[in-house]
């Protein structure tokens, strides 16, 4: 058995096989890690709820909240174009 492992061709085949296995394991780990990161990113709607709570505590003024709401409203519009399309479809039916 040790004579078989001593040949250069066998070493190359084993090295390539190990390299492929390591690449596949790395790819699997990265895709799972990226998937979990994307799930943790809060949406604009979540931010808006947080700022409403901050405003209700009195930490920001009504003017500041309206400015934030304007910016987040634009992001909400960008995040949910499907909702706007379905609204337009519903309006055209009526």
Domain containing 26 equals: 2-40
Please provide the size of the chain in residues: 94
Helix axes 62-79, 44-57, angle to 10 degrees: 170
Residue pLDDT, tens place only, 43-67: 777 888 888 899 999 888 889 988 8
Same domain, 30 and 59: no
Same domain, 52 and 88: yes
Q: Maximum distance among all alpha carbons in the chain?
A: 82
In which band, very low, low, confident or very high, does the pLDDT at 30 lie, cut at 50, 70 and 90? confident
Element (H, E) at 59: none
Q: Is the pTM of this model over 0.75?
A: no
Q: Helix, strand, or coil here: 41?
A: coil
Number of domains present in the structure of the chain = 2
């Amino acid at each position: 058995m040790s004579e078989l492992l001593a040949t250069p061709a066998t070493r190359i085949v084993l090295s390539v096989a190990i390299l492929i296995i390591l690449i596949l394991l790395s790819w699997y780990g990265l895709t799972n890690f990226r998937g979990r990161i994307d799930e943790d990113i809060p949406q604009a709607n979540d931010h808006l709820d947080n700022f409403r709570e901050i405003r209700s505590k009195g930490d920001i003024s009504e003017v500041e909240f309206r400015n934030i709401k304007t910016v987040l409203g634009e992001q909400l519009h960008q995040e949910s174009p499907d909702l706007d399309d379905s609204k337009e479809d519903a309006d055209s039916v009526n």
